[in-house]
Amino acid sequence: MSKTVLITGAAGFLGSHLCDRFLKEGFKVIGMDNFITGDEKNIAHLKNNSKFSFIKHDVTEFIKIETDIHYILHFASPASPIDYLKIPIQTLKVGSLGTHNLLGLAKAKKARLLIASTSEIYGDPLVHPQTEDYYGNVNTIGPRGVYDEAKRFQESITMAYHRFHGLETRIVRIFNTYGPRMRLNDGRVIPAFMGQALRGEDLTVFGDGSQTRSFCYVDDQIEGIYRLLMSDYAFPVNIGNPHEISISDFAEEIIKLTGTTQKVIYKDLPVNDPLQRQPDISLARKLLDWEPKVNRAEGMKITFDYFKNLSEEELYRSDHKDFSSYNNK
């Protein structure tokens, strides 16, 4: 008999790919999303799949599901600076109240829960590369704190349920991930650069471009998450690509890939923007026998081809979400 997995944030970038993966593995999948930052088109191809069902719901509200559930993956959350700066309260609530609701559901269903944490819990790190035993350097009251602290609390309450209730839990710390279904105008560097190139705009680098990032292709990320869920390890695990590159060098890569003739322009660095970001994946290699397989050149070409096929409306709209109601809750 097929086991059932509930995936919150199912219409988002990673959530929709997780739906695909679990269906491929033979699971019944229940997707849940309220479409604050998710997009219905990301799961439109699953509409006629008999093993997929969808519930439009905000996880910060009480969750009741009648059917048996064996696994829960909590991927509901704004995940880009543009989003969580516009909806700071909802960002905090989905990491706290939303996680609490899902922990209660997992306890009632005797399900295993995996939460999507983030490299942002390390803040602007003083340790490089970042290992799972590093506690981080986070400004709790800065503009990015709503996301960082939501995720840090999410980890804390998850471990509390694991220790106190004996709940089976898993924690994945996700580093920069990219691929098809990213929102073009969500503010993150890869869609930002590619969108600017496609619109014939100059590429915008914040700061002097010396800050670094490490980019993991979505298929590799999903594989790491799947292996972690099926493992017996309850503590956080970094899943990301350790190949580091400066933003200025990355801009040059995008120029070559896209063939744009536009120049690179520089603007002030946002408050608390991390200067270095690189995962130490020694633990993932040891526990999960996992490491990235897709090189950046290959992954970037696939991603750029996806963006090239977007409609002109999608290419030029600055933001397609109305967040006003969510900040009043």
**Residue in this structure with the two tokens 């909590």, named with its chain if needed:** 74
In total, the chain counts a number of residues equal to: 329
Q: Answer yes or no: is 246 within a domain.
A: no
Q: Answer yes or no: is 310 within a domain.
A: no
Q: Answer yes or no: is 206 within a domain.
A: no
Question: What amino acid occupies position 191?
Answer: P
- Beta strand pairing call for 264-267 and 28-33: unpaired
Known catalytic residue at 84: no
The domain that holds 152 is classified in CATH as 3.40.50.720
* Distant-in-sequence, close-in-space partners of 96: CB < 8 Å, separation ≥ 6: 150, 153, 154, 157
pLDDT at 321 over 80: no
What does pTM read for this prediction?
0.94
* Domain count of the fold of the chain: 1
Q: Answer yes or no: is 17 within a domain.
A: yes
Of 71, 84, 122, 147, the active-site residue reads 147
Q: Using alpha carbons, list the distances in angstroms from residue 157 to 165, 223, 230, 257, 277.
A: 11, 25, 21, 43, 25
**Structural domain range at position 172:** 4-182+217-241+277-294
The pLDDT tens digits of the residues spanning 79-126 come to 888 898 899 999 999 999 999 999 999 999 999 999 999 999 999 899
Q: Answer yes or no: is 305 within a domain.
A: no
Q: Answer yes or no: is 97 within a domain.
A: yes
Q: How many CA atoms within 13 Å lie on the side-chain side of 301?
A: 5
User: What is the arithmetic mean of pLDDT over 249-276?
Assistant: 86
Q: Answer yes or no: is 223 within a domain.
A: yes
Q: Answer yes or no: is 192 within a domain.
A: no
The pLDDT tens digits of the residues spanning 146-187 come to 999 999 999 999 999 999 999 999 999 999 999 999 998 888
